[in-house]
A = this chain, B = another copy of it.
Amino acid sequence: MSTARIIDGKAIADTIRGEIKEEVAALKAQTGRVPGLATVLVGERPDSKVYVGMKHKACLEAGIHTVDRTMPDTVPQAELLSTVQALNADPAVNGILVQLPLPDHINEEEILNAISLEKDVDGFHPINIGRLCMKGRESLFEPCTPKGCVELLDRCEIPIDGKNVVVLGRSNIVGIPVANLLLHRNATITICHSRTADIAGAVRQADIIVAAIGKPHFVKAEWIKPGATVIDVGINSIPAPERKSGQRLVGDVDTEPAKAVAGAITPVPGGVGPMTIAMLLRNTLDGFKALLLEQAMLRLQLV
């Protein structure tokens, strides 16, 4: 019954992490230096702690140096700001990741704005977002999850140019940036959200569906055009009495029946999820390489 190609995000992410590790080692042999990622974690959210922990572990494995700043969720705006500024000034740090969401009393935009553009490896600085949303401009860093979605399509050689892409969700961290990245790649883009009148009708037109709404099994197999590619960004925990933990993770797509219709589909877990961290490592390495290039050019007095 199942015909869809399963896009193994875990395997692809492992390949990319291997490539990054090799490149880091080669640069270290050449220059004696390695890329550095700083994380800023505010408060005690368990999910945020898990994500930051995973990012540190992945850096370690790739040979990337990490700096860990944690602060209580009562931290004043000014103190958080000066933490970011100190990391901007730290030459051993090439990427700064402020884990979102921040507590309500913090002005998130001001904090993201304060991150030096050259170290904005999460791609959430308003100028990087602005460039992402403009024709003919490129952001220095693309947000990691959206970039991971596009990378999956590329590594699977699924064409984007001229295709109808329907994005479900319009958040700042997934829906909107992934739509803009795919527009840059010449897809025809439709963005749906909670006010969309006929989501099923929109999905039926799509050659590629990117689901990022956070609703378990929301996208039904009957909506999917036969042969379409399904990128399932959703990560939702649902009750699973048969498991010891009592729950399991599923995506925004009703995956099992969808496999009989789609041409290719990402599983959850093991699809988009692992790509996010791989892209963060890639952005950090790219920031480091840009710095090395700049320093080399300065030495050669080319600038």
The answer to whether A162 touches B195, judged by C-beta atoms less than 8 angstroms apart, is yes
A189 is contacted by which of B162, B164, B172, B191 (Cβ under 8 Å)? Answer: B191
A127: B residues at CB distance < 8 A: 126-127, 130
Q: Does A133 contact B133, Cβ atoms closer than 8 Å?
A: yes
B126–A171 contact, CB under 8 A?
Answer: no
Chain B residues, Cβ within 8 Å of A196: 162, 188
Residue A243 interfacial (CB < 8 Å)? no
Residue A47 interfacial (CB < 8 Å): no
Q: A133-B130, A133-B133 are in contact. Are A188 and B190 (CB under 8 A)?
A: yes
Is A41 interfacial (CB 8 A cutoff)? no
> In the complex the two chains form, what is the Cα distance from A201 to B197 in whole Å?
18
Q: Which residues of B contact A198 (CB under 8 A)?
A: 164
Least Cβ distance of A131 to chain B in Å? 6
Among B132, B176, B183, B192, contact of A135 (Cβ-Cβ < 8 Å): B176
- What are the residues of chain B within 8 A of A180 when measuring CB–CB? 133
Which B-chain residue is minimally distant from A189 (CB atoms)? B191
- Chain B residues whose CB sits within 8 angstroms of the CB of A57 once the complex forms: none
Rounded to whole angstroms, the CA-CA distance of A192 and B183 in the bound complex is: 9
Q: Could you mark each residue 82-111 of chain A with 1 if its beta carbon is under 8 Å from any beta carbon of chain B, else 0?
A: 000000000000000000000000000100
Q: Tell me whether B193 and A190 are in contact (CB under 8 A).
A: no
Bound-complex Cα distance A130 to B180 (A): 12
Q: Are A195 and B188 interface neighbours, CB within 8 A? A: yes
A129-156 interface code vs B (CB 8 A; 1 in, 0 out): 1111111110000000000000000000
Is A202 in contact with chain B by the CB < 8 A criterion? Answer: yes
Q: How far is the CB of A219 from chain B (nearest CB, A)?
A: 16
Q: Is A49 an interface residue (CB 8 A)?
A: no
Are B202 and A195 in touch, CB under 8 angstroms? no
Residue contact B183 to A191, C-beta cutoff 8 Å: yes
Looking at the assembled complex, report how far the CB atom of A177 sits from the nearest CB atom of chain B, in whole angstroms: 9
Q: Which residues of B contact A134 (CB under 8 A)?
A: 126, 129, 172, 176
**Which residue of chain B lies nearest to A134 when distances are taken between CB atoms in the complex?**
B172
Taking the nearest CB of chain B, how far is it from the CB of A213, in angstroms? Answer: 13
Contacts from A to B (Cβ < 8 Å): 109, 126-137, 161-164, 170-172, 176, 180, 183, 186, 188-193, 195-198, 201-202, 205
| 8 cross-chain CB contacts under 8 A | A126-B127, A129-B130, A129-B134, A130-B130, A130-B133, A133-B176, A161-B195, A201-B205
Besides A130-B130, A164-B197, 17 new A-B residue pairs in contact (Cβ under 8 A), listed by A number: A126-B127, A126-B131, A126-B134, A128-B130, A132-B133, A135-B170, A135-B172, A137-B172, A164-B198, A186-B193, A188-B192, A188-B195, A188-B202, A189-B189, A189-B190, A189-B191, A190-B190
The 6 A-B residue pairs with the shortest CB-CB distance, nearest first, are A130-B130, A126-B130, A133-B133, A186-B195, A129-B130, A190-B190
